[in-house]
């Protein structure tokens, strides 16, 4: 019996990772559903076999009285903005003045809300919003319902991952249709819908909102994990079981960055999620250290914003 429960955990976590993290289903939904229902049955009959990281334990029971505060280990900063090619070239000039020739990493800027996920010995412990950058809200119960967020990593590491929670365009359209039928006011955009869903005190509501995430960095000093560059950190997050955005691209100079941005100007409407720009980061962590931070933003990154 215990053996069967362990086997179901393994199968469901593997199938779940393929479906929700890699967008590459290994089995039809009907097979996944049959297995999860078998596990729910077994756990109902034998509650002593319920583990915290069981795939059935994503939706908590009780409604929270409120959200407690979380002080971030390192501030969750904001990004400076670039609105045109001149801004981008100015950013590049400033970077190379202090750090010399650098390689950049370009990432899609997901139009959602920033989150921090903390893991201890490979297990999801706490998730929070950015808040004011220093203090956020503990929304662990709601984040547990997001199946793209692993409850257990492939390695027993203690790590913080940061990224963006968002609502896919399709889910946003369906949610608003449903709200219209119910005579409720609709959400203005997927970002507001995602924020509203994660601010629910009842995790059962968040669980129904079909949210997802793209993780875009490690909290604190990347070098602490033996990584030399941001692109390596993203590959490391992939290996640990996180969902990262596959469209990221290393660019050897600002001309390549500009070409990458132009390539997404029109293609972005084909994405299944909304983006509001492209984030450009110096790849090497030691070059990032040469550049440091202003009071509120890294000097080694900027966000090109698409015209609204
Ligand atoms: C290094 O800091 C950041 N990196 C980011 N990366 C992506 N892809 N998207 C963001 N919104 C983002 N925001 C911040 C503050």
115: which DSSP letter?
E
Cα of 246 vs its chain's centroid, Å: 12
- Report the pLDDT value the prediction gives residue 60, as an integer from 0 to 100: 84
Residue corresponding to tokens 């009842």:
202
Determine which residue's CA is closest to atom 4 belonging to ligand 1. 216
Distance 216 CA to ligand 1 centre (A): 7
At 217 the pLDDT is 97
CB contact at 8 A, 245 and 269? no
**Residue-wise burial string across 49-80, b where 16 or more C-beta atoms lie within 10 A, e elsewhere:** eeeeebbbebbbeeebeebeebebeeebbebe
ipTM of this complex: 0.98
Q: How many angstroms is it from 152 CA to the middle of ligand 1? A: 24
Mark whether 109 is an active-site residue. Answer: yes
d(CA 273, CA 189): 11
Q: Give yes or no for a contact between 277 and 258, defined as CB atoms under 8 angstroms apart.
A: no
Pocket of ligand 1 (CB under 6 A): 77-79, 107, 109, 164, 216-217, 279, 298, 301
Query: Cα–Cα distance between 32 and 36 in angstroms, integer?
Result: 6
Tokens of 179: 């709200």
| Residue 229 burial (CB count, 10 A) | 21
Residues 6 or more apart in contact with residue 247 via CB below 8 angstroms:
107, 108, 264
Most informative mutation of 279, 296, 302, 305 for ligand 1 (most atoms within 8 A of CB): 279
| Torsion, Cα of 195, 199, 205, 208 (10° steps) | 30
81 Cα–ligand 1 center, Å: 12
**Protein residue closest via CA to atom 15 of ligand 1:** 78
- Please list the pLDDT of the chain residue by residue as tens digits (308 residues): 899 999 999 999 999 999 999 999 999 999 999 999 999 999 999 999 999 889 999 998 889 999 999 999 999 999 999 999 999 999 999 999 999 999 999 999 999 999 999 999 999 999 999 999 999 999 999 999 999 999 999 999 999 999 999 999 999 999 999 999 999 999 999 999 999 999 999 999 999 999 999 999 999 888 888 999 999 999 999 999 999 999 999 999 999 999 999 999 999 999 999 999 999 999 999 999 999 999 999 999 999 999 98
For 158, the 3-state DSSP assignment is coil
Catalytic, out of 109, 118, 152, 281: 109
**9 C-alpha to ligand 1 centroid (Å):** 33
Q: How many residues does the chain have?
A: 308
- Ligand 1: residue whose CA is nearest its atom 11: 109
Q: Which phi and psi (to 5°) does residue 91 adopt?
A: -60, -45
d(CA 281, CA 40): 44
pLDDT at 308: 80
pTM equals 0.95
Ligand 1 atom with least separation from CA of 281: 1
């Amino acid at each position: 019996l215990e053996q069967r429960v362990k086997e179901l955990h393994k199968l469901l976590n593997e199938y779940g990772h393929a479906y929700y993290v890699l967008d590459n289903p290994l089995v039809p939904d009907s097979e996944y559903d049959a297995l999860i229902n078998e596990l729910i049955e077994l756990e109902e009959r034998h509650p002593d076999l319920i583990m915290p990281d069981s795939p059935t334990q994503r939706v908590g029971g009780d409604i929270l009285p409120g959200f407690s505060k979380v002080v971030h280990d390192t501030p969750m900063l904001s990004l400076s903005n670039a609105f045109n090619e001149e801004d981008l070239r100015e950013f590049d000039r400033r970077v190379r003045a202090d750090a010399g020739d650098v390689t950049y990493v370009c990432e899609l800027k997901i139009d959602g809300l920033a989150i921090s996920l903390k893991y201890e010995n490979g297990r999801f412990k706490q998730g929070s919003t950015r808040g004011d950058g220093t203090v956020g809200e503990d929304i662990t119960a709601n984040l547990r319902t997001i199946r793209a967020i692993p409850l257990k990593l492939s390695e027993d590491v203690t790590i913080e991952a940061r990224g963006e929670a968002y609502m896919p365009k399709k889910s946003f359209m369906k949610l608003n249709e449903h709200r219209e039928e119910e005579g409720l006011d609709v959400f203005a955009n997927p970002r507001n819908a995602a924020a509203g869903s994660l601010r629910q005190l009842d995790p059962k509501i968040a669980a129904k909102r079909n949210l997802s995430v793209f993780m875009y960095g490690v909290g604190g000093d990347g070098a602490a994990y033996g990584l030399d560059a941001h692109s390596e950190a993203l590959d490391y997050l992939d290996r640990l079981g996180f969902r990262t955005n596959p469209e990221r691209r290393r660019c050897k100079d600002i001309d390549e960055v500009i070409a990458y941005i132009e390539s997404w100007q029109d293609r972005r409407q084909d994405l299944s999620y909304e983006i509001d720009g492209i984030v450009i980061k110096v790849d090497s962590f030691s070059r990032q250290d040469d550049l440091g931070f202003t009071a509120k933003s890294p000097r080694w990154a900027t966000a090109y914003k698409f015209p609204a």
